[in-house]
């Protein structure tokens, strides 16, 4: 500051370019380059590699022999893949729907000037800090048909209580929903709570003066104002649902039979244990397309909004 | 507020508050139940587990199952407990978090304070990389690690976690530095400070909160990872989550629920500890990863 007059502050970088300036201009790009190269190669390059593998005849090892759409044809004629897609639909819809419903409900309760908020909030959120494997292990034990919840209910005197979802092929996918909701709903609650705290109190006061009841204030004013939070929660949860792998593996192992197969477990078993690497790659490409369809429009709109 | 008081009698308002508190306490108990069951089961003997009630407090609390899980439980063919895998995870997490955070900070700095044509595209591509399903890169990465002699090694897992964590760390620092006043950087440039000096002297000293957020986010994610661990390592080299799953899902011998639960507690402890100590930052990281500041 001492050597330069305060005058030429306007556009200081427009001076005669010297070697030092050249280096100064290049250095930032040089610093960013390795990271960007890593992303280019290990994300985008690897995605192309996987796409290519899905068009080959690879079995146990990658074989770079063109197989056309054979792998996709085989994927979509695989009953197992339909089970996986159907389970993803059941899991995804219930997981997203229930997480949002419970998250919003708890957030509204917490927003009623609750005294113990500082104690309650961490209780709803701590499952999010746990690994899916820990969550799966805990719920596997909790829902154990012999010694878990069922036994507890019998001990409490409810002798006819039956809860065998974990080993019942028709119901097993719902146990994944229960454990998933337990883990993520607190996080959705925190998102809604942040949204509720951001709403202008004046609007609500005005509605109260007009004689609106609390229920109609929430229904007509507050919940519509939370639209962006609904969208964010949906995106985050949909993304987590498509990727979920660990939870199913730890809770049910994909079973009983293939009752809780998801695209993620399908991809893993076809690639690494069933030696149909091209079909596994094709399923990975389908997963990528699913996520892209959800994420890209969202990122695009978010980045554009910020420019304004 | 006055209107509300006119229409609602004080008695029913108080009743409503009781209902709200009752609902919240009930829900809190439901959320705590699995953790409680996990802890109490780990402190019981097998006989007590088989004969008693899951919800009952341990009659004769003992840490025998913890000791066994840590040092004696059988995972696969080796019966030396989970301690080795726990250390594997530590050895994997620490370098991966440090490297990815450092790179993320530099990237965020370049992308906000040294913008160049196309910076938005570069950021967009790094951002999308956060969200890809890792299944789409699993096979090539397995091939690469194999070819490089890094499969089944902690170094390989560190590399993988740095690569796929870069997007998030860059995102965190970019959004944070975006709000950092450009004037300070400009002034330092006029003073002749260079690229690294500005970063070191001006941005880094005020980056405390975002460093904490990023470190916690990365620590939690990498510690909790299962997919990479199970795909790129096996046996002795596995991280904690993989070992836990192997322990719990093994079907040989007597099922020792108390040891399983003790191992699960060990796997949960580091992230729970971080959450309890720095929960505020943990939540902020989750939000930043979701709603993007």
Among chain A residues, the shortest Cα distance to B170 is held by A35
The per-residue pLDDT for A164 is 81
pTM across the whole model: 0.87
Does any domain span residue B258?
Answer: yes
- Tell me the count of A-B CB pairs closer than 8 A: 272
Does any domain span residue B74?
Answer: no
What architecture is domain A75-260? Orthogonal Bundle (1.10)
Q: Do the chains contact at A191 and B139, CB–CB below 8 Å? A: no
Q: What is the DSSP letter of A42?
A: I
Among chain B residues, the shortest Cα distance to A202 is held by B1
Judgement on whether residues B267 and B156 belong to the same structural domain of the protein: yes
Over residues B178-193, the mean pLDDT reads 88
Positive or negative, the Cα torsion across A12, B202, B290, A285? Answer: positive
Q: Is B131 on the interface with A (CB under 8 A)?
A: yes
Q: Where are the domains of chain A?
A: 75-260
Q: Do the chains contact at A205 and B186, CB–CB below 8 Å? A: no
- Structural domains of chain B, count: 2
Does any domain span residue B133?
Answer: yes
Contacts of B125 in chain A (CB under 8 A): 36, 39-40, 44
Contacts of B4 in chain A (CB under 8 A): 208, 214
Distance CA A5, CA A2 (A): 8
Distance CA B293, CA B290 (A): 8
| CB within 8 Å of B47: residues ≥ 6 apart | none
Judgement on whether residues B120 and B39 belong to the same structural domain of the protein: no
Does any domain span residue B69?
Answer: no
Does any domain span residue B255?
Answer: yes
Judgement on whether residues B26 and B164 belong to the same structural domain of the protein: no
Q: Tell me whether residue A18 is exposed, middle or buried, using C-beta atoms within 10 angstroms of its C-beta: 0 to 12, 13 to 18, 19 or more.
A: exposed
Q: Do the chains contact at A53 and B139, CB–CB below 8 Å? A: yes
Judgement on whether residues B19 and B119 belong to the same structural domain of the protein: no
Judgement on whether residues B58 and B88 belong to the same structural domain of the protein: no
pLDDT of A129 above 80? yes
Does any domain span residue B274?
Answer: yes
pLDDT tens digits along A154-210: 888 887 787 888 888 889 999 999 999 999 999 999 999 988 988 888 888 888 888
Q: Do the chains contact at B133 and A208, CB–CB below 8 Å? A: no
Domain assignment of residue B240, given as a range: 83-291
Helix (H, G, I), strand (E, B) or coil at A70: helix
The per-residue pLDDT for A305 is 66
Q: Do the chains contact at B271 and A132, CB–CB below 8 Å? A: no
β-sheet bridge partners, residue B244: none
Select from A28, A139, A263 the Cβ nearest to the Cβ of B195: A28
Q: How confident is the model at residue B251 (pLDDT cuts 50, 70, 90)?
A: low
Judgement on whether residues B168 and B48 belong to the same structural domain of the protein: no
Q: Is B272 on the interface with A (CB under 8 A)?
A: yes
Judgement on whether residues B37 and B121 belong to the same structural domain of the protein: no
Select from B7, B124, B191 the Cβ nearest to the Cβ of A299: B124
Over residues B72-84, the mean pLDDT reads 82
pLDDT tens digits along B87-137: 999 999 999 999 999 999 999 999 998 888 888 889 989 988 888 999 999
Nearest to B42 by CA among B80, B82, B77: B82
Select from A124, A142, A186 the Cβ nearest to the Cβ of B37: A142
Q: Counting every residue, how long is chain A?
A: 308
Q: Is B12 on the interface with A (CB under 8 A)?
A: no
Q: A137, A163, A183, A275: best mutation site toward chain B, by most B Cβ within 10 Å?
A: A137
Judgement on whether residues B87 and B134 belong to the same structural domain of the protein: yes
Among chain B residues, the shortest Cα distance to A25 is held by B114
Here the ipTM equals: 0.88
What CATH number does residue B165 fall under? 1.10.3720.10
Select from B2, B53, B224 the Cβ nearest to the Cβ of A151: B53
Does any domain span residue B67?
Answer: no
């Amino acid at each position: 500051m001492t050597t330069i007059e305060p005058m030429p502050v306007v556009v200081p970088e427009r001076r005669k370019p010297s070697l030092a300036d050249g280096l100064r201009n290049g250095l930032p790009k040089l610093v960013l380059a390795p990271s960007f190269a890593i992303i280019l190669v290990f994300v985008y390059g690897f995605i192309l590699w996987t796409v290519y593998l899905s068009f080959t005849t690879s079995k146990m090892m990658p074989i770079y022999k063109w197989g056309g759409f054979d792998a996709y044809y085989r994927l979509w004629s695989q009953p197992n893949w339909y089970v996986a897609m159907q389970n993803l639909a059941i899991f995804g819809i219930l997981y997203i729907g229930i997480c949002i419903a419970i998250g919003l409900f708890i957030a509204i309760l917490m927003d009623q000037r609750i005294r113990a908020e500082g104690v309650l909030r961490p209780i709803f959120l701590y499952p999010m800090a746990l690994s899916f494997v820990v969550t799966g292990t805990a719920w596997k034990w909790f829902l154990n048909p012999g010694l878990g919840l069922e036994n507890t209910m019998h001990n409490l005197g409810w002798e006819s209580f039956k809860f065998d979802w974990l080993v019942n092929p028709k119901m097993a996918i719902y146990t994944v929903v229960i454990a998933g909701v337990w883990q993520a709903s607190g996080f959705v609650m925190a998102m809604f709570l942040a949204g509720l705290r951001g709403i202008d109190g004046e609007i609500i006061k005005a509605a109260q003066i007009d004689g609106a009841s609390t229920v109609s204030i929430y229904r007509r004013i507050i919940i519509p104002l939370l639209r962006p939070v609904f969208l964010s929660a949906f995106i985050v949860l949909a993304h987590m649902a498509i990727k979920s792998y660990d939870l199913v593996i730890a809770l049910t192992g994909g079973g009983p039979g293939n009752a809780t197969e998801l695209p993620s477990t399908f991809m893993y078993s076809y690639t690494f244990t069933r030696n149909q690497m091209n079909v596994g790659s094709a399923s990975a490409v389908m997963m990528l397309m699913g996520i892209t369809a959800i994420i890209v429009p969202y990122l695009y709109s978010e980045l554009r909004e910020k420019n304004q | 507020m006055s209107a509300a008081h006119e229409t609602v009698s004080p008695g029913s308002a108080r009743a409503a508050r009781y209902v709200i508190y009752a609902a919240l306490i009930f829900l809190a108990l439901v959320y705590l139940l699995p953790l409680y069951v996990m802890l109490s089961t780990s402190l019981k003997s097998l006989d007590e587990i088989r004969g008693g009630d899951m919800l009952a407090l341990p009659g004769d609390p003992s840490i025998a199952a913890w000791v066994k899980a840590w040092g004696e439980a059988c995972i696969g063919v080796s019966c030396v407990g989970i301690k080795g895998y726990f250390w594997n995870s530590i050895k994997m997490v620490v370098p991966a978090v440090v490297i990815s955070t450092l790179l993320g900070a530099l990237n965020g700095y370049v992308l906000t304070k040294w913008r160049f044509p196309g910076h938005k595209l570069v950021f967009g591509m790094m951002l999308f990389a956060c969200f890809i399903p890792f299944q789409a890169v699993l096979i090539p990465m397995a091939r690469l690690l194999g070819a490089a002699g890094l499969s089944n090694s902690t170094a390989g897992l560190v590399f993988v976690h740095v690569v796929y964590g870069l997007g998030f760390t860059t995102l965190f620092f970019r959004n944070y530095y975006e709000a950092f006043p450009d004037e300070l950087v400009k002034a330092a440039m006029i003073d002749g400070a260079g690229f690294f000096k500005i970063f070191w002297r001006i941005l880094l000293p005020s980056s405390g909160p975002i460093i904490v957020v990023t470190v916690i986010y990365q620590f939690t994610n990498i510690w909790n990872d299962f997919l990479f661990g199970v795909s790129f390592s096996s046996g002795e080299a596995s991280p904690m989550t993989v070992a836990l799953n192997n322990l719990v899902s093994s079907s040989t011998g007597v099922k020792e629920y108390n040891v399983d639960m003790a191992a699960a507690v060990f796997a949960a402890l580091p992230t729970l500890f971080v959450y309890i100590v720095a929960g505020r930052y943990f939540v902020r990281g989750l939000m930043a990863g979701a709603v993007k500041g």
